[in-house]
Amino acid sequence: MSCSTFKVSVGIPIFGLAFTSSNQLIMGGGGGAGRSGVKNKLSSYKVDVRRKDLEEDATFQFEAGEDAPMCLDAHPTKPFVVTGVNSSVENMSEGQKTINTLSSTKQEDFQRVVRFSQDGTLVATGTTDGKVHVFRYPEFELLSEPMIVSTEDEVLDVDFNLEKEKLTCCLKDGLKLINLRGKNVGQVVQTISTKSIVKNQKTQFRAFRYGRGYTKDFGFAIVNGVTKPGSYVVKYDAYSFEQLKVVNIGAKPVTAISLSQDGSILAFATADLSITLMNAQTLKVLYKLKDAHSFPITSIAISPDRLLLASASADSTCCIVSLPLQFNNLSTVNPIFTVLLALSIAGFLLLVLTVLDLDAYFEEKLALSKAVVTDVNAIVPATTTAIESIVETIISKAPIITSVIKDEL
């Protein structure tokens, strides 16, 4: 299956992107805190598929001394975005809408990831110095004290389970599950190692996402090979973390992943500059785009209506892929496809009832059904015969309508 694609230059290296609930595309990036001459900013775009272009609606430019936005996430239902930026001390002390999530004094440390819970009431951040913060949204009140999940490793990814009872933190050497309820709030209650994932090969975790919608009972981890090149997607039980399935993705490491809002499509980018879409239930490949960018892909996202995929790179470009309403080998159905089908059926029935006068027909059949059958040998028409005769009447009286419907189907 082929998908329509186009690529647009956005003028700055992009490190994070996301779709809002209204399908606006938000991108963040820039030249960093140095004096490179490349601005650091967040921009909102409307995707114009017909013109194959991005229309910039709004831009927020960061002040001098601030770093580029390194990660971002959009609220699942409201027009809000959270982003991680290394700010100057002066700006942090004066800012009214900024939250300090990094206590490290090392210039190389930064906020690696930020993630909303599926209902948008919690926000989690992970930093390169191994710390995790969880906030209530929109108050930005800490749910617990900052959690140190590692003193030697960076937090690569975070995600909340559906019930918001656990936060899974992705480190290179393991997945750490943090309790978010009860007396043990903020404590690591389970650790998943990479040792048993691929036999006779050392691997490292790269990302983790809890399923949603069709895949709400599962979790998906991405691991990259260390001793041998390659990457894998691992499917877990979302509650017991029993390993259910391991599928080889390819020979190159994964650099970015995204899961559609309905949980049916898993998308990932690899170091060979390609993008692959996979059925999240069966882990079968649906579509692959080669050479999407000229530099490694930093971020990818799927729109809430599941009709667009966007990817971005340090090469200052954004690639847009138009997705079909329904993939041939995707077992789940796009909600938009379901709505269109329902509207088509309703329109056909309304047209039939408007054009044809069926009242007289049904009155005649009703009168016959009320007649008393005195002959014991009389043949009483079966229900299916009556239904078939109604269908034949509709077809005979509306040949044009049925012809149109058949052509459309």
Find residue 267's DSSP bridge partners.
258, 277
Most confident of 125-129, 193-197, 349-353, 367-371: 125-129
Residue 42: per-residue pLDDT: 97
Report d(CA 324, CA 305) in Å as an integer. 11
Structure tokens at 155: 């937090």
**54, 39, 49, 42: which is closest to 18 by C-alpha?**
42
Structure tokens at 184: 């043990």
Give the chain's end-to-end CA distance (angstroms, integer): 21
List pLDDT tens digits, range 42-100: 999 999 999 999 999 999 999 888 899 999 999 999 999 999 998 654 554 454 455 65
Where are the chain's structural domains?
A: 5-332, 338-408
Strand order, beta sheet including 5-9: 5-9, 317-322, 308-313, 297-302
Asked whether residue 127 carries a pLDDT value surpassing 70, the answer given is: yes
Name the E strands within 36-137: 41-48, 53-61, 71-74, 81-84, 111-116, 122-127, 131-136
Asked whether residue 211 carries a pLDDT value surpassing 50, the answer given is: yes
Structure tokens at 109: 């440390």
List pLDDT tens digits, range 292-314: 999 999 999 999 999 999 999 99
Most confident of 95-109, 322-336, 341-355: 322-336
Strands 41-48 and 25-29: antiparallel
Q: Give the global pTM.
A: 0.78
Do 161 and 240 form a contact (C-beta atoms < 8 A)? Answer: no
What is the arithmetic mean of pLDDT over 240-248?
A: 97
Asked whether residue 371 carries a pLDDT value surpassing 80, the answer given is: no
Residue 373, judged by CB atoms within 10 A of its CB (0-12, 13-18, 19+), counts as exposed
Long-range contacts of 84-92 (CB under 8 A, 24+ apart): 84/110, 84/111, 84/112, 84/113, 84/114, 84/125, 85/40, 85/111, 86/33, 86/110, 86/111, 88/63, 90/65, 91/63, 91/65, 91/66
Structure tokens at 139: 């108050």
Calculate the dihedral angle through the C-alpha atoms of 32, 33, 38, 44, rounding to the nearest 10 degrees: 60
Mean per-residue pLDDT over the chain, rounded:
85
Backbone angles phi, psi at 357, to 5 degrees: -100, 95
Strand order, beta sheet including 14-19: 14-19, 25-29, 41-48, 53-61
Structure tokens at 260: 């559609």
Angle (CA) 203 311 194, round 5°? 10
Q: Label residue 182 by pLDDT band (50, 70, 90).
A: confident
Backbone angles phi, psi at 195, to 5 degrees: -60, -35
CATH architecture under which domain 5-332 falls: 7 Propeller (2.130)
Question: Would you mind telling me the total number of residues written for the chain in this entry?
Answer: 409
Structure tokens at 223: 């691991």
